[in-house]
Structure 1
Amino acid sequence: MNERITLNNDITMPALGFGVFQTPPAETAASVAEALRVGYRLIDTAAAYGNEREVGEAIRASDLDRSEVFIETKLWISDYGYEEALHGFDKSAGKLGVDTIDLLLLHQPLTSDFDKTIGAYKALETLLADGRVRSIGVSNFMPEVLERLLAATDVVPAVNQVEVHPFFSQSDVQKADAGHGILTQAWSPMGGITSYGGSDRSTFDDPVIGEIAAQHGKTPAQVMLRWHLQQGRSAIPKSVRPERITANFDVFDFELTDEELARIDALETGVRSGPDPDSITLASFARDIPEA
């Protein structure tokens, strides 16, 4: 049974979700269908992933009521600005085939044009007030940028989705989030990005994680997901392989000790594997998000 987390607006969501970043559209529907079959009830996608339509198809094809599946998606920077973000919501909702999105995030802070970021977030506030989204949040917002957002808007984000894994835990971000009652949600929660992000170390091969996994009869991936859940984070692992989709959900029958959690914490390198949020600009990263 998946654990649940109550957000700062009293909406509850599953702690463990299923992500589809870099999953080709042709493989998305099958992988989401398998995740739903296994027991996942939080699906995370984004306009920029190009697979919202297939996520919606898989949910509709399941035997689950819409209310049983928590849908999370993200607006891309090309749709920032107030009116643009409202239209971005329409595009995402149309592709997903839903009237209401459970959690809508701004995908990046766009610090190079922060007025557009503020406008987009104010659109999220409008969508929340109108009942078209149930909760709103941000992604990849560092503490100083988060403070700028909070100073210019009214609704505290429910979630901040950022890179968090044993080699890069962003404790300053987590502390800032917690101080405002914001849930930290981990993307690349098992450090998969360390494998393809140019690092010469992989979390999956780390001897400390391997030793802890052996002691519990679990895999390194399962140990890393348990680490997130026990420290109060949400995590959204991704895979297209049925056996891994199943294994990643099998993390609710064991507990890590305080010593084990501390040993994993101590693996921190301070090195980001994903892009620096400040490097995300319209000049370099703008992309057309097609109509629904």
Structure 2
Amino acid sequence: MTTHLTLNNGVELPALGFGVFQTAPAETVVAVEAALRTGYRHIDTAAAYGNEREVGEAIRRSGLDRSEIFVETKVWISDYGYDAALHAFEKSAAKLGVGQLDLLILHQPLPTDFHLTIDAYRALEQLLADGKVRAIGVSNFMRENLDELLGATSVVPAVNQIEIHPYFAQRDVLAADAERGILSQAWSPIGGITFYRTGGTSTLDDPTIAGIAAAHGKTAAQVMLRWHLQEGRSAIPKSVTPHRIEENFDVFGFELTEAELRAIDALDEGVRRGPEPASLTLETAGFKIPEA
């Protein structure tokens, strides 16, 4: 199977990315360096993670040409609005040490101030037109958010990054993305967010996934990442552990059967583990993103 996916504007991105959500700045350089050594060529960060500078340092240390690495980052809600989002690009690009971003996305919808969301996206459209970014998109947008955005802007998002794992598949959002030609990108793709809830089963301990993993001589994490890839999604696993970083990348040498894919699909509980997108407001989640 292909290791790359083509976005709706013709730009290609490596289907499997490396994420640094909740990775402390002190650990980020080493983790990203390990990921790049392993073979990852797509790094996903965000202004709100506070580690863009360290991602940039790891890219420089890697010795790889900038053109070989697909760099994705996100604008936080505190920087929504047209001028603020333009400046958010400048901050992120400077911290990352790059002149152009491969993918810039809005981190959350802001339903209580959606006019700011629209203005921020219009800034992304301008950055795209100016060649400062190669593709633009959104994150955690539900069907109604996409409808409202597309009713007021002209560029269809290339990507919608959302919580997707076997216990929360967001089929309606996946369908909404597909209908509009938007690539769905999974955060928490191996259900890392399920590890922290009280009671119940973690996806890593799920007996169905464990059985499929045993049949292929693979781990549960590898099976879940393969599930995403075979269903045409981009996935952004994260780890700071070298052997896990390598393990999560080793998912291109086997194939799940149609019955196995459907068995994983059937695990969907329809229960969100991450924040409800509509619940984020500037009052509850707004914080200043530092200057470069």
Which band: TM-score by shorter chain?
over 0.9
Offset from partner CA, 1:222-241 (integer Å, 9 cap, x none): 00000000000000000000
Partner-residue secondary structure (3-state), 1:152? coil
Q: Corresponding residue for 1:19?
A: 19
2:274 maps to a residue whose letter is G
Partner Cα separation in structure 1 for residue 104 and residue 270 of structure 2: 29
Offset from partner CA, 1:193-235 (integer Å, 9 cap, x none): 0111445220000000000000000000000000000000000
Partner Cα separation in structure 2 for residue 199 and residue 2 of structure 1: 38
Partner Cα separation in structure 2 for residue 84 and residue 200 of structure 1: 42
Offset from partner CA, 1:101-154 (integer Å, 9 cap, x none): 000000000111000000000000000000000000000000011100000000
1:187 maps to a residue whose letter is W
Partner Cα separation in structure 1 for residue 57 and residue 83 of structure 2: 27
Partner Cα separation in structure 2 for residue 188 and residue 114 of structure 1: 26
Partner Cα separation in structure 1 for residue 13 and residue 28 of structure 2: 22
What is the alpha-carbon root mean square deviation over aligned residues?
0.9
Q: How does 1:60-139 map to 2 (within 5 A)?
A: 60-139=60-139
Tell me if the contact between 1:2 and 1:16 (Cα under 8 Å) persists in the aligned partners. Answer: no
| CA drift at 1:176 | 0.4
Partner Cα separation in structure 2 for residue 15 and residue 136 of structure 1: 16
Partner Cα separation in structure 2 for residue 249 and residue 154 of structure 1: 36
1:161 maps to a residue whose letter is Q
Partner Cα separation in structure 2 for residue 197 and residue 35 of structure 1: 28
Q: Corresponding residue for 2:243?
A: 243
| CA drift at 1:63 | 1.5
1:61 maps to a residue whose letter is R
Partner Cα separation in structure 1 for residue 238 and residue 99 of structure 2: 25
Give the length in aligned residue pairs: 292
Q: Corresponding residue for 2:277?
A: 277
2:123 maps to a residue whose letter is A
Q: Corresponding residue for 1:287?
A: 287
| CA drift at 1:2 | 7.0
2:261 maps to a residue whose letter is L
Partner Cα separation in structure 2 for residue 115 and residue 160 of structure 1: 19
Partner Cα separation in structure 1 for residue 83 and residue 9 of structure 2: 24
Partner Cα separation in structure 2 for residue 196 and residue 94 of structure 1: 34
2:125 maps to a residue whose letter is E
Tell me if the contact between 1:160 and 1:177 (Cα under 8 Å) persists in the aligned partners. Answer: yes
Q: Corresponding residue for 1:164?
A: 164
Q: Corresponding residue for 2:206?
A: 206
TM-score of the pair, normalised by structure 2: 0.99
Sequence identity, in percent? 69
Q: Corresponding residue for 2:191?
A: 191
Partner-residue secondary structure (3-state), 2:138? strand
Tell me if the contact between 1:187 and 1:237 (Cα under 8 Å) persists in the aligned partners. Answer: yes
Partner Cα separation in structure 2 for residue 199 and residue 176 of structure 1: 32
Partner Cα separation in structure 2 for residue 2 and residue 60 of structure 1: 27
Partner Cα separation in structure 1 for residue 285 and residue 211 of structure 2: 40
Offset from partner CA, 1:243-277 (integer Å, 9 cap, x none): 00000000000000000000000000000000000
Is residue 227 from structure 1 mapped to residue 227 from structure 2 by the alignment?
yes
Partner Cα separation in structure 2 for residue 285 and residue 94 of structure 1: 24
Q: Corresponding residue for 2:178?
A: 178
Deviating 4+ runs (over 2 angstroms) = 197-200
Q: Mind listing any 5+ residue stretches in structure 1 that lack a counterpart? A: none
